[in-house]
Structure 1
Amino acid sequence: MGENIGSFFSHGKILISGEYLVLKGAKVLAIPVNLGQSLTVTSAKPGHINWETFERGQLTFTAQFQLPGLAVLETSHDEKAQYISKLLMAVQKLDAAFLNSNEGYAIKTHIEFDTRWGLGSSSSLINNIAQWTQVNAFELNQRVSQGSGYDIACAQSETPILYQIKNNLPIIEKAPLLPFFFPELMLVHLNKKMATEANISGFLSKPMDLEPAIKSINILTEKMLCCTQLSKFQELMETHEKIVGKVIGRTPVKETLFAGFDGAVKSLGAWGGDFVLAASARPFEVQKSYFEQKGFPTVLKLGQLLIS
């Protein structure tokens, strides 16, 4: 058994407001969730990294990397192995002393949520690697992702946050107390995982004047936090959908999938997959039954994922 070098943990995330526009400086509300990812590092045979990933207790991925070049020697999933190699190489760019042929490690990661849910399996891994190697997590994220970094901020936080990029730097504030009805809001999974990086690339490649939309989203984010009535919050959700839908040229998800729902539905993160947020005055079981009958059986209360 090798020497224990360190154990690290990072939270998953949910972006409530400002999807897409957070990349261009909008102020957004993001919530770290009570599920996350742990990473344990122990010493092992020099010249190699042996990697195991467990998802909800089940071994789902293995790989062996050669040091110091991080070539993939064997793996159960080539794309995932190449991503980890890229991530560790990015650390080397930030810390030239990281990894040499005289070192060896056994690394185990444990993901507490279904990775198809889009709760931040990549961001929680990036933050854990940054904790282990003592590099800046936001700088590391920039080297492997085009994302805004709000998910890295959530990985490090125990409370909801307001997040904004100014002058290419993350500005993170602890959010005020969430409205009383937030735990009763619903998360409905759309049965597919979105390719976040592809969505980001597509959005960033389109030249457009986003200042009016960003100002509107900033105001909506503040109004969402100050809201004291569920009916008013539903109106804010619908307004948000119209603004973002116009920016990205997509139809709001309620119109495409849930036109008969008695309440509001808002996309979270990349539109078209992962979770959507639903709000209604009707009892939870009635709402849950509606989504199940539509073919979407994964329905949670937001309160199930809030950090207590």
Structure 2
Amino acid sequence: MTKEFYSNGKLLLTGEYAILDGAKGLALPTKFGQSLTLLGSDSENFVWNSLDESDNIWFSSEFSKKDLKTIHTSDREVAYRLSQILIEAKKINPSFLQHSTDFYSAEAKATFPRDWGLGTSSTLIANIATWAEINPYQLLEATFGGSGYDIACATHNTAITYRRNGFEPIVERVVFDPNFKDQLFFVYLNQKKNSRDAINSYRNLDFNKEKLILEIDEITDQIIMCEHLKDFELLLNEHETILSKTLQIPTVKNSLFSDYNGTIKSLGAWGGDFILATGTATDMSYFNNKGYNTILPFPEMIL
């Protein structure tokens, strides 16, 4: 018997950081994601393999079916985290993996490079939660933590607005298909940002959270309705300025691309992963010349 689950990757267009405190963010599921395939197995142990976008195994492990402890593994740290996720899933649903016959040989495969930051962890959480028949937001809170918008992207095939609300967040499907999408590009900054470190830094800041939430909510609503690129760029710049003042760090444009003619916006944790850049395909040579060679047009990235 075979079971297969799939979850979408994610990008957060508005609300980064502020979404942790209840701001409404505009989130975009990506065409990239991660599958989890479960195959019937006669093995005495629970075997898990994780494959990258080129079908190469980057992680493998065997766990005891009795207590999910690691027996053999290629990476002790990853094996421990995976074991803890499965154990937490069992705590939420005690009937999950209750019998040895409930186990399979598991194969997780991402369709994007892991250092892109599109949701290796969130897609894993969403897939395991579906397998275990539990609330994915509850499993996220018990393991990695975070706002949960990435979990919402994992299970939706259209743009969404997301607002935290315990284990039952407020998620609304929206249409975000701008007529200027041919002038929107996603540029990878050649480094993955640790979201947990970024969240901890944000938590230590002192600022007016209510004011920030109101400002971000208004920008999010306006961006969804935006029909002209210039208006869209003004809203992105306003969003960047507000977050820059809140975080007390310069925008990515001021720090890395001050001479770029178009608009640039951070996506998610500042300082890594992808940015959104406006401009033409020809304009993207600016980033190529600076060594940023992973550039995806909007239609190639977003569902």
Please say whether Structure 1 and Structure 2 have the same fold, judged by a TM-score greater than 0.5. yes
After TM superposition, give the deviation of residue 177 of structure 1 in Å.
3.8
Percent identical: 36
Which string of whole-angstrom CA distances, capped at 9 and with x for unpartnered residues, describes residues 42-95 of structure 1? 232365210111111222111111123211111112221111111101101101
Report the secondary structure of 1:166's partner residue: coil
C-alpha spacing 1:260/1:300, structure 2 compared with 1 (3 Å): same
For 2:300 and 2:260, the matched residues in 1 are separated by: 22
Q: How does 1:37-52 map to 2 (within 5 A)?
A: 37-45=34-42, 47-52=44-49
For 1:219 and 1:302, the matched residues in 2 are separated by: 23
For 1:208 and 1:168, the matched residues in 2 are separated by: 26
C-alpha spacing 1:207/1:74, structure 2 compared with 1 (3 Å): farther
For residue 93 of structure 1, the aligned residue among 83, 91, 94 is 91
After TM superposition, give the deviation of residue 169 of structure 1 in Å.
3.5
- 2:196 equivalent in structure 1: 197
TM-score, normalization by structure 2? 0.95
Which string of whole-angstrom CA distances, capped at 9 and with x for unpartnered residues, describes residues 145-174 of structure 1? 221110110000010001111366410001
Is 1:26 the counterpart of 2:31? The answer is no
Q: Give 1:125's aligned amino acid.
A: L
Q: Give 1:293's aligned amino acid.
A: N
For 1:110 and 1:166, the matched residues in 2 are separated by: 30
C-alpha spacing 1:183/1:175, structure 2 compared with 1 (3 Å): farther
Q: Does the 8 Å CA contact 2:125/2:140 hold for their aligned counterparts?
A: yes
- 2:277 equivalent in structure 1: 278
Q: Does the 8 Å CA contact 1:17/1:217 hold for their aligned counterparts?
A: yes
Stretches of structure 2 that go unaligned for 5 or more consecutive residues are none
Task: Number of aligned residue pairs: give it.
Answer: 301
- 2:64 equivalent in structure 1: 66
What is the root-mean-square deviation in Å for CA atoms of aligned residues?
1.5
For 1:205 and 1:97, the matched residues in 2 are separated by: 39
- 1:155 equivalent in structure 2: 154
C-alpha spacing 1:183/1:127, structure 2 compared with 1 (3 Å): farther
For 1:102 and 1:228, the matched residues in 2 are separated by: 56
For residue 295 of structure 1, the aligned residue among 279, 287, 291 is 291
Q: How does 1:243-282 map to 2 (within 5 A)?
A: 243-280=242-279
- 2:50 equivalent in structure 1: 53
Q: Does the 8 Å CA contact 2:25/2:217 hold for their aligned counterparts?
A: yes
For 2:142 and 2:99, the matched residues in 1 are separated by: 24
Moved more, 96-105 or 147-156: 96-105
Q: How does 1:229-248 map to 2 (within 5 A)?
A: 229-248=228-247
C-alpha spacing 1:196/1:158, structure 2 compared with 1 (3 Å): same
- 1:36 equivalent in structure 2: 33
Q: Does the 8 Å CA contact 1:21/1:214 hold for their aligned counterparts?
A: yes
Q: Give 1:95's aligned amino acid.
A: N
Stretches of structure 1 that go unaligned for 5 or more consecutive residues are none
